Amino acid sequence: MTYLDRILEQHREMSESDHRSVEGLLRSVQQMPPTRGFRDALRVQPGLAVIAEIKRRSPSKGDLFADLDPAAMAIAYESGGAGCLSVLTDTFFFGGSTDDLQAARRHCSLPVLRKDFTVGERDVLDARLIGADCVLLIAAALDKLELLALHELATGIGLDVLVEIHDEAELDLALEAGATVIGVNQRDLVTFVVDHERAVRMASLIPAEVVRVAESGVRGRADALSLRRAGYDAVLVGESLVTATDPAAAIADLRVG
């Protein structure tokens, strides 16, 4: 069993034990103010946009910055020119929380992605209710019908959706769902190996009207330049920013033309 299998098993168990009324959650969502526009924020930035991630730990590497202050980090990221934030809210595997997302969002003006393992409609509704502007759907974690249904629900309640893919088959599913923001994860979810060539190959296959995001394994300016040349609009960067001595400067270094 891979780490992704273990994470999904836990999240599906949690989802199945959640008996809150979907209709009640929908009524609550309808009272929410408009989102900040995650996709639009990436589109308007000149050059390569940076989605800067707040991430306390990872299953493969352990603690990265367990005691980070999400508010201070959000402020630093915004001052460095980040286009959006990504906040891990999974607690057991990544040490995150919804409190992290809400604190980060309160202290900056950037749109925020809820980075978590979305497996059911209540997960999507919760993302909106806690203040996220965008939700992550991982194609490898969902079957076709789930992906289509959750994407439709998310967009219907005002969320942008980042659909994460790894290969051509998953790209086809993302496009069938109507994805307008697609992230190519350079890291294999089974072996953890980063494959930069995969990202370069996939970029040319993603339609131009879709916002193209490269995820994982972006180590610095050289990687950013390579991905920008390949056609990416944005990079999602976590580990190298969280562990940077000066996160704002590290983001500025990634903002290649």
Q: What is the pLDDT of residue 190?
A: 67
Query: How high does pLDDT run on average in the chain?
Result: 94
- Report which secondary-structure segment, H or E, holds 150: helix 144-156
Three-class secondary structure of residue 54 per DSSP: strand
Residue 134 bridge partners (DSSP) = 113, 160
205-214 pLDDT, tens per residue? 999 999 999 9
Measured distance CA(249)–CA(16) in Å, rounded: 43
* Cβ pair 41, 110 in contact under 8 A: yes
| Residue ranges making up the domain that contains 167 | 3-254
Q: Which distant-in-sequence residues (6+ apart) come within 8 Å of 189 by Cβ? A: 2, 3, 4, 140, 166
**Cβ 106 vs Cβ 123: under 8 Å:** no
Residue 138 backbone phi and psi in degrees, to 5 = -95, 115
Tokens coding 109:
């003006």
pLDDT at 191 over 80: no
Mean pLDDT on 40-48: 95
Task: Provide the 3-class DSSP secondary structure of residue 140.
Answer: helix
Q: How far apart are CA 25 and CA 210, in angstroms?
A: 30
The proportion of the chain whose per-residue pLDDT surpasses 90, expressed as a percent, equals: 82
| CATH number, domain with residue 196 | 3.20.20.70
The residue that leads in pLDDT, 39 or 219, is 39
Say what the pLDDT of residue 34 is: 97
Q: Say how far apart CA 91 and CA 130 lie, in whole Å.
A: 15
pLDDT given for residue 244 in this prediction: 95
How many CB atoms neighbour CB 68 within 10 A?
Answer: 16
Distances (CA, A) of 7 to 51, 56, 239: 23, 16, 19
Catalytic residue numbers?
Answer: 53, 55, 115, 164, 185, 215-216
Q: Can you give 154-194 as a three-state secondary structure string?
A: HHHCCCEEEEEECCHHHHHHHHHHCCCEEEEECECCCCCCE
Closest residue by Cα to residue 96 from 53, 137, 131, 128: 53
* Number of structural domains the chain divides into: 1
* Mean pLDDT across 150-172: 97
**Cα–chain center distance at 123:** 14
What digits encode the pLDDT tens for the residues 117-155?
A: 999 999 999 999 999 999 999 999 999 999 999 999 999
pLDDT in tens, 20-31: 999 999 999 999
